[in-house]
Amino acid sequence: MKQLPLTKQQLIAALISLSLGSVAQAALTINGSSSAESSARVSWGGADSLSEARKIMYKSSNSSPIKKVDNGYGATNITNTHSFGSSNNGFNNTNSYNTAYRGGFNSGSMIPISTDSRSVAVIDAETGETIYEKDADIARPMASITKLMTAMVVLDAGLDMREEITLDPEDFVGPKRASSRLKSGDRLNRAEMLLMALMKSENPAAKSLARNYPGGYSAFMRAMNRKAQDLGMTTAFFGDPTGLDKRNVASSNDLVKMVRAAGNYDVIRRFSTTKSYDFYVSNYSSGNRTYKANNTSSLVRSGDYPIGISKTGFINEAGRCVVMETRVNNRPAIIVILGANSSATRWGDAKNILNSLATRRTV
């Protein structure tokens, strides 16, 4: 039977369910059915998953918006409650894995591959060992990889994810001209804007999230750079929340820290790996419409690999970029690819790494 895309009404119902504290199994399933045999890659369902999402998206004033697993340095021994099965790329809330670094960078044997992108880092997230790197300490433009940091800053603020945000003309003004299917006057709630930014990489959505931050846009940018400092990203700088600013730079090794930190946010895991979503967009001036969106990652869309976090990026100065967390041979790994000269090179390098991880001995 053909799977129908999630509607806005279903999303709102799920958000209400979260806020009311329901632990019903029929929670939110994105692009999939509730069957155990479903090929759905992203789902919210069951008491544990609903509880985690509620902690993040409906934080009370005296609670933490995330589970503190890792600050990016690789110096923690707390475990992450989510793992990714190699068979179905889905969330598994019963088999946890330890994300703590038990080794140091450059302490492991490299996987025997070559890559064509300008900068690459592959880290065994269980041991902390660097298992492949190429010019990984040089700061480079990161393009829309930026939006992972944008999402973390939004979630750290503990804002109401149901609050409606209206796109202003200024949300379409940035360091570069970029295509967008959004329009001035479009209205979505904060959760939908975040999903739009992470899955579809819509720049006006990211800009609007920053503009509607406590203290405004300038305060948001200060928070982004402060977060980078807290994570130990010594090469990083953020000049805007979208990645269109070529000044947004970091080394591949520093982006590993950012991806690790992003993995502590259940919403980022789910939203960044959503394959498709039909947004119902309200607009008083131009009328309401449905915006059908697909994930910018071909690997996420195909579902051929177990991917737990994903973000792509591109501007001319950055080349084609992608970061991801994966789990192969029951071991978690973080992959950062910067500066590919084409989309084919980016995905070729990514698949080469993933296939090499699949054949790597893990004794």
Tokens of residue 233, six digits: 């990203």
Q: Which residue among the candidates 17, 201, 251, 297 is catalytic per the annotation?
A: 201
CA dist 333 and 322 (Å) reads: 14
Catalytic residue (one of 144, 208, 297, 310): 144
CB 259, CB 151: distance < 8 Å: no
Is 144 among the catalytic positions? yes
Whether 176 sits among the annotated catalytic residues: the reply is: no
Q: Does the active-site annotation cover 227? A: no
Say which of 59, 134, 147, 200 is annotated catalytic: 147
For tokens 């959760």, the residue is 191
Burial bucket for residue 169 (CB in 10 Å: 0-12, 13-18, 19+): exposed
Contact 297, 271 (CB under 8 A): no
Nearest CA to 1 out of 33, 40, 36 is that of 33
The CA–CA distances, whole Å, from 347 to 204, 215, 256 equal 26, 39, 18
Neighbours of 155 (CB within 10 A): 22
- Active-site amino acid positions: 144, 147, 201
